[in-house]
Amino acid sequence: MFRGLVDLVRGAGFVAACVPGVLSLVLVASIADAHHSFAIYTDQITEIEGELTGIHWGNPHVLLSVRVEEAGQEADWTLETGNPYVLQRRGLPRELFRPGDRIRAAGRVHRAQGAQLWLHNLMLGDGQELLMIAGVEPRWNEVALGGDGSGVPVADAAAQDLGLFRVWSRPVLRPIAFSEELPYRHEAPSGGAQWLARMDELAARCESVGMPGVMATPYPFEFRDHGAWIRLIGFSNNALIDRTIHMEDASGSRAPDPGRFGYSMGRWAGENRLEVTTTQIDWPYFDDSLGIPQGDRIETFEIFTLSDEQQRLDYRMIVTDPETFTEPVTAVETYWLALGESLAEPTHCAE
């Protein structure tokens, strides 16, 4: 069984993000593209109707403002959904959302801020229904736009002949899964309140999570060749992912300093296979979606295998952590595709 980096409180989900206040910097959502714990939303689906009065089309979330008449009085609602990259992949460009239109919305209501929804379904003024997150079905029509965003064509990677050194994308906007059945030395603990506080602190500074969880990003990333080292760069919404993979041991006689991405040494095991061993990881959480701690001696072994036609990159991560697991574990198995996308660079998280 696999759990996408999800289920904070079994019904919760995540996507890496940067947001002040109540929103947290965490990992991938199971049925949505949220950037905070779903514990702040109820499980109840609420419907509203009203006038679309404003649009914030930016990271880390697209926000829609809706004026609703309730019991003879007007109330302003906020509809929260994924970021621009996610919506574009779902085939939902900004042009679909027109201020002044009368819309209908369904989603989970915020526990503390009652006039706020995490948006599931949206009916536009012309009657077109939109699926705003993964895993939901049309609510009012037989057919709707949106969903997983799986219709992006694969690039002619063989003709481009870039090998590993290009932008790689998720085939569909679904979470990258960490294995669920892992041999924990003790019962799998949760970071609890301390973990939530740490995520909020990172969010305020637009900082990324660390290894190994950072590799669960659902957003595009790129390998760049620098000869003696390879740079793996991307964004998890507003947080920069920037890993250095040393192809020659540059540490010398002095042990490298620990860091959130660790110290990575790479080697080519054949023309199309890159193997990366990462040590010196200074990051407290193995599974950031649950706040499960990891030990100081954790090591990761990653295998990136490029297909012969250069269109697919298979990935496997093996984790050794004697403080957490009784044996080495295969934590992640997934793949990316060459879709010809650019990096989804964010705006500043304060915007």
Percent of the chain with pLDDT over 90: 50
Q: Taking residues 152-171, what's their average pLDDT?
A: 91
Count how many Cα atoms sit within 13 Å of the Cα of residue 269 in the half-sphere of its side chain.
11
Burial class (CB in 10 A: 0-12, 13-18, 19+), 172: middle
Residues 6+ apart with CB under 8 A from 321: 286, 294, 295, 297, 298, 299
Whether 3 shows a pLDDT value over 60: the answer reads: no
Domain-wise residue ranges, the chain: 40-146, 157-337
Compute the chain's Rg from CA coordinates: 21
More confident residue, 37 or 136: 136
How far apart (Å, rounded) are the C-alpha atoms in residues 217 and 319? Answer: 18
Query: Which two tokens mark 232?
Result: 């793996």
Angle among Cα 276, 277, 281 to the nearest 5 degrees reads 125
| pLDDT higher at 2 or 144 | 144
| CB neighbours of residue 279 within 10 Å | 17
pLDDT band at 130 (very low <50, low <70, confident <90, very high): very high
Mean pLDDT, residues 96-115: 91
Q: Is 99 exposed, middle or buried (0-12, 13-18, 19+ CB in 10 A)?
A: exposed
202-236: per-residue pLDDT in tens?
A: 766 778 889 998 998 888 999 999 999 999 999 87
- Mean predicted lDDT score pLDDT of the chain: 81
Could you tell me which residues are beta bridge partners of residue 222? 167, 233
Strand order in the sheet with 329-337: 167-168, 221-225, 229-236, 239-246, 263-268, 273-279, 299-306, 312-320, 329-337
Q: What is the rounded average pLDDT of the residues 166-193?
A: 81
- Quickly count: other Cβ atoms within 10 Å of residue 267's Cβ: 13
| 8 A C-beta contact, residue 30 and residue 135 | yes
Report field, pTM of the whole predicted structure over 0.75: yes
**Per-residue confidence (pLDDT) for residue 250, from 0 to 100:** 59
Of residues 183 and 6, more confidently modeled: 183
- Per-residue pLDDT of 318-351, as tens digits, reads 999 999 999 999 999 999 999 998 886 655 554 4
Instruction: Tell the CATH topology of 40-146.
Output: OB fold (Dihydrolipoamide Acetyltransferase, E2P) (2.40.50)
Among 13-27, 115-129, 275-289, name the most confident range: 115-129
Chain position carrying tokens 């379904």? 121
pLDDT at 200: 67
Tell me the per-residue pLDDT of 293-317, one tens digit each, with 9 for 90 and over.
899 999 999 999 999 999 999 999 9
